[in-house]
Amino acid sequence: MLKINLIAVGDIKEKYLNDAINEYCKRLSRFANLSIVEIKENVSRTANEQDVLSALKKDAVEIKKHLTNYNICLDIKGQALTSEEFATKVNNLSLKTSEITFIIGASNGLAEEIKTLCNERISFSKMTFPHQLMRVIFLEQLYRAFTIINNIHYHK
């Protein structure tokens, strides 16, 4: 079974988001061995640019501990994919590797070092989403991808 890791910076405080995350984790368990690693966010809301860069470097140190053979970061400047294209990507990667790691950065993004270490960068939208909500959106799209791959009625 494919192992999928999700490295996410920041914690989820809202119950409704945790409920959605748990639901998609349960649904995904029939398709993949999913692991979520939560990294403590190092930046304060009142940080200046230098503090943000310093915090992103601290995040990077922790993220690097969990990188695997194939890493994909979610990046607004990454390749935009349709749900079908994302499903194809996941399916093709599952034929080449047994483990894929996806990374969602902090509210201020990811250090350039982490982006450079990734095999790919993908974008779910040109819009900006709260990084806590992005975790739910990612898990839903991952579930959708597996339903597309397995011809299960869910998509459209």
pLDDT, one tens digit per residue, over 20-70 is: 999 999 999 999 999 999 999 886 555 688 888 888 899 999 999 999 999
For residues 111 and 56, the answer to whether their CB atoms sit within 8 Å is yes
Identify the H or E element spanning 80: strand 71-80
pLDDT tens sequence across 102-137: 999 988 889 999 999 999 999 998 888 888 899 999
Q: Which of 27, 29, 44, 31 is nearest to 150 (CA)?
A: 31
Taking residues 4-11, what's their average pLDDT? 96
Please determine, for residue 80, whether its predicted confidence score (pLDDT) is greater than 80. Answer: yes
What number of CA atoms fall less than 13 Å from residue 47's CA on the CB side? 15
Q: What does each C-alpha distance from 154 to 38, 131, 151 come to in angstroms?
A: 28, 25, 9
Residues 132, 14: Cα–Cα separation, whole Å: 9
Domains in the chain, CATH or no CATH each: 2-149 (3.40.1280.10)
Q: Which of 19, 15, 21, 4 is nearest to 134 (CA)?
A: 21
